[in-house]
Amino acid sequence: MERTFTLNDGALIPQIGFGTFNDAFADNKAAILQAMECGYRFFDTASLYETERALGAAVKESGIPRKELVIETKLWTDEMGAENVGAALERSLTRLQTDYVDIYMIHWPRQSGAEDEDWKQLDIETWQAMEKLVDKGKVRRLGLSNFLPHHLKNILAHCRIRPVVDQLELHPAYSQEAAVAFCKENDVLPMAWSPLGHGRVNASIGNGILPKLAAKYGKSVQQINLRFLLQKGILPIPKASSREHMEANLDVFDFALTEDEVAMLSCMPQNGWLGEHPDFSIPDRKSNFLQ
């Protein structure tokens, strides 16, 4: 994939990534290998997803030089803290069969939702331990996931190495405009998990703008979702388990939504949220939220 975003450290990253939060990928590298054959070079995983081993095996079998791939993984809440970060990364590196990751992320800003009163200090300690991993060459750059403006502001006020990305649930029915704007104001690239939406999002909402746009451009509703995000400067990370869908998710560069259409989608009713909030709850291990 030649189309890229530029991160705040000058590095280039593909404009569309491949999400591996899928039970089908946990013990099966075939789908990930197929994604590589389709042209994906940026892969998102996490210690929580239990897909690091499959991704690592796929990279080895693919024969694609490691330097041509962007591998991003995340540490979970029970791996936070200065004393835990180094060991957490080593476990991820072992599962991924690599000696470095391109982006290492804090997966969730609070360990225990609303009951976590010490989250700010824990986030700082965790981040500073991650910065040391960059110094050692085991991590190329750092990022965040599910960090809202007040969480991100805490990191920015105390970091030595700035986060390059923040991964959020983003799609037309949950566009989190304030969070995206804050990321852009601070030169942090917003990434979208669950970018294709889901049942309620992709149904006819209000005046049915998504289906109408899909018909106008000869695309699927999912492709309209992806195009919307790209035009807003957001990097989507869709999942797919079939070659047809993998290829379709990359086939979004031959059309453009109008400025009015992007505005309409940005103002859709916000009814597509999957139901967890980083300030008030912690998803369980199999939650749909952790995509």
CATH architecture under which domain 4-266 falls: Alpha-Beta Barrel (3.20)
Residue found by looking up tokens 């990359």 in the block? 250
Contact indicator for 214, 221 with CB cutoff of 8 Å: yes
For residue 68, the tally of other CB atoms under 10 A from its CB is 9
Smallest Cα–Cα separation from 142: which of 119, 54, 156, 153? 156
- Does 41 have pLDDT greater than 80? yes
Query: What is the C-alpha to C-alpha distance for residues 80 and 127, in angstroms, rounded to an integer?
Result: 9
Share of the chain above pLDDT 70, in %: 91
Q: Give the pLDDT confidence score for residue 290 in this predicted structure.
A: 44
Here the tokens at position 125 are: 């300690």
Residue 104 exposure: Cα atoms within 13 Å on the Cβ side: 30
3-state secondary structure 255-269: CCCCHHHHHHHHCCC
* CA triple 141-144-146, angle to 5 deg: 165
- Does 207 have pLDDT greater than 80? no
Query: What is the C-alpha to C-alpha distance for residues 268 and 173, in angstroms, rounded to an integer?
Result: 6
Q: Give the pLDDT confidence score for residue 288 in this predicted structure.
A: 46
Query: What is the C-alpha to C-alpha distance for residues 92 and 124, in angstroms, rounded to an integer?
Result: 21
- Does 1 have pLDDT greater than 60? no
* CA triple 261-6-108, angle to 5 deg: 80
Contact indicator for 52, 45 with CB cutoff of 8 Å: yes
Q: Annotated catalytic sites, by residue?
A: 49
pLDDT tens, residue by residue, 224-262:
999 999 999 999 999 998 999 999 999 999 999 999 999
Contact indicator for 219, 261 with CB cutoff of 8 Å: no
* CA triple 57-60-63, angle to 5 deg: 140
For 37, 86, 99, 131, the CA distances from 136, given in Å and listed in that order, are 32, 11, 11, 9
Average pLDDT, the chain: 92
Smallest Cα–Cα separation from 139: which of 109, 110, 98, 178? 98
Query: What is the C-alpha to C-alpha distance for residues 210 and 223, in angstroms, rounded to an integer?
Result: 10
- Does 87 have pLDDT greater than 90? yes
Is the pLDDT higher at 14 or at 197?
14
Smallest Cα–Cα separation from 54: which of 22, 78, 88? 22
When pLDDT is cut at 50, 70 and 90, the band that residue 289 belongs to is very low
Check: pTM over 0.85? Answer yes or no: yes
- Does 128 have pLDDT greater than 90? yes
When pLDDT is cut at 50, 70 and 90, the band that residue 24 belongs to is low
Domain coordinates of the chain in residue numbers? 4-266
When pLDDT is cut at 50, 70 and 90, the band that residue 201 belongs to is low
Q: Give the pLDDT confidence score for residue 291 in this predicted structure.
A: 43
